[in-house]
Structure 1
Amino acid sequence: MDIFGDLRRMNKRQLYYQVLNFAMIVSSALMIWKGLIVITGSESPIVVVLSGSMEPAFHRGDLLFLTNFQEDPIRAGEIVVFKVEGRDIPIVHRVLKIHEKENGNIKFLTKGDNNEVDDRGLYKEGQNWLEKKDVVGRARGFLPYVGMVTIIMNDYPKFKYALLAVMGAYVLLKRES
């Protein structure tokens, strides 16, 4: 299982082939992700629910599929994913109230289904309403609990490294047989 020994035994053509294969896999994944961004209109077309604030609609670990078409109006009752200034992680909550101005600007208030109060405490200081620019996307579908792998890897980094080690060992053993 000496990776560097395997690399030294490869001729240049084999090494280039392996590097190109890896680069093609990475670039294909990036192209698929960018394609999803264009198709859905969302900067993050797939997100994982990280808390239980939306239960029973969504549970921790559910994988959400988002769209964010600007021409679609935001409606009360719709589930949106939004970013708040000063927070890195987007929040998944339901639109509680809409405040529409005469000039067409829309502001709205959100709340988690499982929370007692609205989200004004989560917004940046002095902000009472969200605007369309804060929305990352709107939930259009989900796969239950598929995102638990992401949560486990973030909560337990040793698990992530163990999983990578097992996958690496599998690839090496597969190649030798």
Structure 2
Amino acid sequence: MVRAGPVGTHLSASGLDIFGDLRKMNKRQLYYQVLNFAMIVSSALMIWKGLIVLTGSESPIVVVLSGSMEPAFHRGDLLFLTNFQEDPIRAGEIVVFKVEGRDIPIVHRVIKVHEKGNGDIKFLTKGDNNEVDDRGLYKEGQNWLEKKDVVGRARGFLPYVGMVTIIMNDYPKFKYALLAIMGAYVLLKRES
């Protein structure tokens, strides 16, 4: 039920008046809600940091953002990465790498590897769906990648699970609407 008052429309009857619900809470309830939220955030951070330690990758989970790796991976696929330094990089392996001057890591396949006698490895990458290698993507004057450029190596994936992330980045209003719906759901669940 929606009640109209002299100031405007109030949605407290449907449970969507968030500020009204906050005003009704005593200090102990409010502290409890803040503490619950802090526990959820810290738990997520601990899980993320634990995955970083277990996988050896600074970013153990990434979303494929383009179609350059089709048909192996499609836009929106969620990749699970590891990056153990003792594992050698081999041709045919799919790596996620960062290039100086670019913010977003790139997911492509290693097509050539050059190993020197002293153990240094340099390699060249290419997207499966691209016509040419990635030398045009590397920083100016760079012809090969090195191990230090690798964020991780693909070990598994979930198809299209990352589309939620892509949609939220492409359509920011959708992200805020989704957050509002989730907040309303939590409040309604708490009242029942």
Shorter-normalised TM range: over 0.9
Look at both structures and tell me which one has the larger radius of gyration over its CA atoms.
2
SS in 1 for 2:185: helix
**SS at the partner of 1:94?**
strand
- TM-superposed CA distance for 1:119, in Å, is 0.1
Cα root mean square deviation, aligned: 0.7
The alignment covers a number of residue pairs equal to: 177
Distance in 1 of aligned mates of 2:82 and 2:190 = 41
Counterpart position of 2:175? 160
Instruction: Tell me if 1:79 matches 2:99.
Output: no
CA shift, 1:176, in A, is 2.2
Q: Deviations over 1:77-110 (max 9, x none)?
A: 0000000000000000000000111211000000
User: Cα offset for 1:167?
Assistant: 1.1
Gaps of 5+ in 1: none
Length-normalised TM-score, structure 1: 0.98
**Counterpart among 132, 156, 175 of residue 117 in structure 1:** 132
Secondary structure of 1:13's match? helix
Report the CA distance between 1:152 and its aligned residue.
Answer: 0.4
Per-residue deviation, 1:7: 1.3
Pair 1:56 & 2:71 matched: yes
Partners of 1:56 and 1:114 lie apart in 2 by: 7
Return the offset for 1:175: 2.0
**Normalising by structure 2, what TM-score?**
0.90
Q: Which contiguous aligned blocks of 4+ residues in structure 1 show a shift greater than 6 angstroms?
A: none
Moved more, 130-139 or 163-172: 163-172
SS at the partner of 1:14?
helix
Structure 2: 5+ residue runs without aligned partners?
1-15
Matches within 5 A, 1:1-177: 1-177=16-192
Percent sequence identity over aligned pairs = 95
Shift of 1:168: 1.4
Q: Secondary structure at the match of 1:110?
A: strand
Where 2:32 maps in the other structure, the secondary structure is helix
In the TM superposition, what is the alpha-carbon distance from 1:5 to its structure 2 partner?
1.8
C-alpha deviations, 1:51-92, integer Å up to 9, x for none? 000000000000000000000000000000000000000000
Which is further off, 4-13 or 122-131?
A: 4-13
- 2-side partners of 1:109 and 1:60: how far apart? 22
- Identify which range, 66-75 or 157-166, moves more after superposition: 157-166
- Matched position secondary structure for 1:50: coil
Shift of 1:19: 0.6
1:103-150 deviations in Å (ceiling 9; x for gaps) = 110000000000000000000000000000000000000000000000
Superposition deviation, residue 2 in structure 1: 2.1
Decide which moves more: 5-14 or 46-55: 5-14
Distance in 2 (CA, whole Å) between partners of 1:117 and 1:76 is 16
Q: Which moved more, 1:104-113 or 1:6-15?
A: 6-15
- Equivalents in 1 of 2:171, 2:27: separation in Å? 38
Give the whole-Å Cα distance in 2 for the aligned partners of 1:168 and 1:28: 19
Q: Secondary structure at the match of 2:39?
A: helix
